[in-house]
Amino acid sequence: MGTGELAALTAAALWACSSLIYSRTRLSAWQINFGKNILASLILCLHLYILTSLTGRSMFAADRNTWILLAISSIVGIVIGDTFYFRSLQILGPRRALIVSTTSPVFATIAGWIGLGESLEIVSLLGIFLTLAGITIVIAERGTAEVTAGKLPASMTRGVVMGLLGSVCNAGGATFSHLGTLGNKTLSASGCDPLEATVIRVCVAAASSIAAGLATGALIKTARRSFDWSTLKSYLPAVICGPWLGIWMSQIAYRQCQLAIAITLTCTTPLFVMPLLRILYGYRITVRGFIGAIVALAGVYLTVAG
């Protein structure tokens, strides 16, 4: 297992933590996305500034076409995709929302095949199938305690549609992010460091969120709700886990391994949610859940081995 695969699994673990926190935040999906984009952009800029100051290199070395690819990735994946995902999370709760989100590798595989010309070995395809099957076994079991209920519910159909749209956007954003980070001769993009790519994506997302707020006339209202201290402190840990460390790890994965493999491994988030449910909410890990975890881990192994 290489650096990219390990980074993808780390991202999955970090997103497991952030998903549980976001599902309990009493803000609208857009308000959550707005707040986390602004906060994460500030943290990441400070991170990049300190690192580049110590190494003596420029903060931003990416060329124009790399910026364009990462900007498209940001708008599609973070601004639009995350908003859909957060709404699905609020309606369905973490367990069901994660079931829907496991469709991302399917869309990513199609995007990688059509847009990037990637091919996958039979073993890797089997690994992807087993990983998704194992995840489904883990999170489809009944009785996931209180965390199965969404905090801002709506119809089940609406929640599933929002989740599927989030998965499509996630796969599309990952495709452009992969191109921007790794570089592409056809598109005249030289690529850039994963941390720089993360900063660009999140800063574009923050700027886009502010622009959307200005365009709709809801900027002040949204900012007041998102940055109210009593609310902010409830989701700040998720900002640290998700858009800062999680997206950074995912960028490393996109640079170091194939797109479909990277997306599949980041979709192992439910496996990391299981012990968190046990620790935080006393949820009992069943035999079915354990078997599902073993199947998914076998799928992870076959995916990276192929």
Residue 31 is predicted with a pLDDT of 95
Is 67's pLDDT higher than 80? Answer: yes
Q: Which residues of 276-289 are buried (b: 16+ CB within 10 A; e: fewer)?
A: bbeeeeebeeeeeb
| Burial bucket for residue 129 (CB in 10 Å: 0-12, 13-18, 19+) | middle
**C-alpha to C-alpha distance for 128 and 122, rounded to whole angstroms:** 10
Half-sphere exposure of 289 (CA within 13 A, CB side): 18
Contacts of 28 (CB under 8 A, 6+ apart): 152
More confident residue, 260 or 189: 189
| pLDDT digit string, tens, across residues 184-211 | 888 888 989 999 999 999 999 999 999 9
Give dist(CA 182, CA 197) in Å, integer: 10
Could you tell me which residues come within 8 angstroms of residue 50 by beta carbon, excluding any fewer than 6 positions away?
Answer: none
Per-residue pLDDT tens digits for 92-118: 877 778 778 877 877 777 777 776 676
Q: Which of 128-132, 147-151, 194-198, 299-303 has the highest mean pLDDT?
A: 194-198
How many structural domains is the chain composed of?
1
Integer Cα distance of 5 and 81 in angstroms: 23
HSE value, Cβ hemisphere, 13 Å, CA-based, for 206 = 20
For residue 72, give its domain range: 3-305
CA–chain centroid gap for 104, Å, is 10
The whole-number pLDDT of residue 116 equals 67
For the chain, give percent helix, strand, coil, nearest 5. 80, 0, 20
Q: What are the tokens at 191?
A: 């690529």
